[in-house]
Structure 1
Amino acid sequence: MKVEFLKLAQQELDDAFEYYEYQQTDLGYRFVEEVYNALDLIKTYPLGWSLVSKHTRRCLLKTFPYGVIYQKQENSILVVAIA
């Protein structure tokens, strides 16, 4: 299943990467890796997380205080926010 990011969601991911990388070397990379690990789970179990609105779900990250906010489309996952 394909994953697409809204421009704002991609910007949120980039901003969080920069913030964590500024805090500690390689921490930004660990953050992005955790986001993509969550996306792998979401692709496998797209309906496995709680609804936050009618068509939108949130998968919380394990280590960082963020979640992947997404919508399951017919043949893809649309990431609407990293928050």
Structure 2
Amino acid sequence: MASYGFHSEAADEYLAATRYYLDHSSPLVAAAFVAEIEAAIQTLLASPATWPVIEENQIRRYLLRRFPYSLYYRWEAEQDRVSIYAIMHFSKLPGYWRHRVT
């Protein structure tokens, strides 16, 4: 199975969203958010090329089902790795994260 990693700003987004649900909703909702992110990662690792390329540099998007977030990632087949560049809330300006991709 492939490995994965977060860009540091994507990791910050993950933490901020989790904190938001803890502070503004409940620990159960925050736990459900974390569980959905973790399930999404496992899905990406199992079949990383399933979702369409939507950006330059082979960036793909995975939409969460229960929460208004997308994971923007790149499948690096030669390294058998999924690199996650953004955990983007739907209200954010599209493409704000593009500078993260090298």
Show structure 1 runs of 5+ residues with no match: none
> 1:6 aligns to what?
7
Aligned counterpart, 1:31? 33
RMSD: 1.0
Q: Secondary structure at the match of 2:51?
A: coil
Q: Larger RCO: Structure 1 or Structure 2 (Cα < 8 Å, ≥ 6 residues apart)? A: 1
What is the CA-CA distance between 1:22 and the residue it aligns to? Answer: 1.1
| Count of aligned residue pairs for this structure pair | 83
TM-score normalised by the chain length of structure 2: 0.77
CA deviations over 1:1-60 (Å, ceiling 9, x no partner): 111000000000000001111122221121111011011111111111122213100100
Aligned to 2:65: 62
CA radius of gyration, larger in = 2
* Counterpart AA for 1:70: Y
CA distance, structure 2, for counterparts of residue 29 and residue 81 of structure 1: 20
TM score, norm. by length of structure 1: 0.93
